């Protein structure tokens, strides 16, 4: 079947973005070793920076694979770009919403603040438009038919379950990085350090990875466990978000591990923390909703 023009254009955009995603971490890692010692980040921040670069590079590799899959009309590539478009749309919406509430330092002039807001809005507004284009393009009947024609065995797994599964797997992998950098853990107001934080992160990572793999396999026990896991996340976010003492305790922990925020009172950011907590609660509630709605897709 002939490839729709929108699919080819999307593949080109994916290739360009993925190339950028590979060049940035390569330059960042090189800068860590080439830059003068006075310009390098503190030693404790280097593992965190490298972990971030590795995640960005991995996304670039996945993007290139997705672009090749789009050119070849592979069904998994359509699912991949829809998942990415969904996360991109949510992320850009979150940034644009944050832009309206985040305060600037007192010494920032009104003209500078206005310029920063306009440039940020233009960049993330453009990315949001691309995400919306992909969500529409890859859900049109002609595009679905083009990808379906290359597969005699369409997947019985709903796209919403695929999104939740890969979000769980990504979250589990990110949690393992927290162990690597020695980050403290925050659980319902309790701050855990060293080996205790590592054990908690290891348990959370194992749960997330197990749930993600089980959802990809449409296993009922993974669906039930996923509902409980995201319900736990929703409860923790709500409790910390609505209890002022716990919220401040979490801010204090963040300041202790982030030198650049040590002089910043995160509690003075206006409505921004409410946006953070609200966004997290919406995502957890959406995961629970789809896990319940798509229960008929799972086996016994």
Strand partners, 185: 192
Instruction: Report residue 43 CA to chain centroid gap.
Output: 26
Q: Is 126 exposed, middle or buried (0-12, 13-18, 19+ CB in 10 A)?
A: exposed
Proportion of the chain in helix, strand, coil states, percent, rounded to 5: 80, 0, 20
User: Residue 226 and residue 223: Cα distance in Å, rounded?
Assistant: 5
pLDDT at 213: 92
pLDDT at 272: 63
For the chain, the straight-line distance linking the first and the last C-alpha, in angstroms and rounded, comes to 37
CA distance 112 to 236: 38
Q: Residue 56 CA to chain centroid, in angstroms? A: 11
pLDDT (tens digit, 0 to 9) for every residue of the chain, 300 residues total?
577 888 889 999 998 888 888 887 777 766 666 655 555 555 545 566 666 677 777 788 888 888 888 888 888 888 889 988 988 888 888 888 777 667 777 777 778 878 888 888 888 899 999 999 999 999 998 888 888 776 555 667 888 888 889 889 888 888 887 787 777 888 887 888 888 888 999 999 999 999 999 998 899 999 999 999 999 999 988 888 888 887 778 777 776 665 544 444 544 455 567 777 887 888 899 999 999 999 898 875
User: What per-residue confidence (pLDDT) applies to 38?
Assistant: 54
* H-helix or E-strand spanning residue 192: strand 190-192
What is the pLDDT, as a whole number, of residue 235?
92
Total-model pTM: 0.65
At 129 the pLDDT is: 93
Structure tokens at 56: 């960005």
- For residue 268, the model assigns a pLDDT of 47
Q: What is the pLDDT of residue 189?
A: 76
Contact assessment for residue 75 and residue 155, using Cβ atoms and an 8 Å cutoff = yes
Closest to 212 (Cα-Cα) out of 157, 172, 154 = 172
Number of CB atoms found within 10 A of residue 28's CB: 15
Of 259, 99, 74, 225, the closest CA to residue 153 belongs to 74
The strand pair at 190-192 and 185-187 is best described as: antiparallel
Would you state the pLDDT for residue 147? 84
- For residues 238 and 213, the answer to whether their CB atoms sit within 8 Å is no
């Amino acid at each position: 079947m002939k490839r729709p023009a929108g699919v080819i254009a999307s593949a080109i955009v994916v290739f360009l973005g993925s190339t950028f995603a590979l060049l940035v971490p390569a330059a960042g890692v090189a800068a860590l070793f080439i830059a003068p010692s006075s310009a390098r980040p503190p030693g404790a921040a280097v593992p965190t920076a490298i972990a971030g670069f590795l995640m960005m590079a991995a996304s670039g590799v996945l993007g290139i694979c997705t672009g090749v899959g789009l050119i070849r009309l592979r069904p998994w590539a359509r699912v991949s770009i829809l998942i990415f478009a969904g996360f991109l749309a949510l992320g850009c919406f979150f940034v644009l919403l944050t832009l309206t509430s985040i305060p600037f330092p007192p010494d920032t002039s009104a003209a500078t603040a206005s310029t920063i807001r306009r440039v940020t809005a233009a960049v993330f507004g453009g990315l949001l438009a691309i995400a919306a284009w992909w969500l529409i393009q890859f859900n049109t009947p002609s595009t679905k038919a083009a990808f379906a024609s290359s597969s005699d065995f369409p997947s019985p797994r709903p796209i919403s379950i695929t999104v939740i599964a890969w979000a769980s797997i990504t979250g589990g992998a990110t949690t393992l990085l927290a162990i690597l950098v020695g980050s403290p853990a925050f659980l319902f107001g309790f701050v855990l350090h060293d080996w205790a934080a590592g054990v908690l992160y290891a348990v959370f990572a194992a749960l997330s990875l197990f749930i993600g793999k089980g959802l990809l396999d449409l296993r009922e026990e993974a669906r039930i466990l996923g509902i409980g896991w995201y319900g736990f996340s929703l409860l923790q976010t709500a409790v910390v978000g609505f209890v002022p003492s716990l919220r401040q305790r979490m801010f204090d922990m963040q300041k202790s591990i982030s030198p650049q925020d040590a002089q910043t009172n995160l509690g003075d950011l206006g409505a921004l923390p409410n946006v953070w907590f609200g966004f997290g609660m919406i995502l957890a509630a959406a995961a629970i909703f789809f896990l319940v709605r798509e229960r008929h897709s799972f086996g016994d």
